[in-house]
A = this chain, B = another copy of it.
Amino acid sequence: MKSYRKELWFNVPSRRGFVNITPEVDACLQESGIREGLCLVNAMHITASVFINDDEAGLHHDYERWLEKLAPHEPVGQYRHNVGEDNADAHMKRQLMGREVVVAVTDGRLDFGTWERIFYGEFDGRRRKRVLVKIIGE
């Protein structure tokens, strides 16, 4: 069994945003040399997500509005977590979108349906944060 590990760093300049990280994850897979196995991609921060969905700007706008409706940022005082912080809503948005994805590796490629892309979802940005890529297989 082979294993591979890499940290990817992101710095989203706004509080919230979505970044297509499929090319970076694919580059990790090529670097790993693994042909058959599983690829785990997870946020290492608890106010960010890694998820798989469509690379379509309209949908990302809809996600932003929808997440704000289900877990609003303001008023920040509504959350007990927000003592000296203002990111309680980010901890909720991250649960809705998920921490991680596990992707099958087949014949040396990410085994995806037509429209599947991997995104980093930032909900408390404006600082450097990490995503972990771990691949096992052979």
B37-A58 in contact (CB<8A)? no
A44-B80 in contact (CB<8A)? no
- Residues of A in contact with B, size category: 35 or more
Measured CB to CB, the closest approach of chain B to A132, in angstroms, equals 6
Residues of B contacting A115 in the complex (Cβ-Cβ under 8 angstroms): 45-46
Residues of B contacting A116 in the complex (Cβ-Cβ under 8 angstroms): 44, 46
- Interface assignment of A113: CB less than 8 Å from any CB of chain B: yes
A53-B91 in contact (CB<8A)? yes
- Interface assignment of A137: CB less than 8 Å from any CB of chain B: yes
B52-A99 in contact (CB<8A)? yes
Q: Which 4 pairs, one residue from A and one from B, show the smallest C-beta to C-beta distance? A: A44-B113, A104-B134, A58-B80, A59-B81
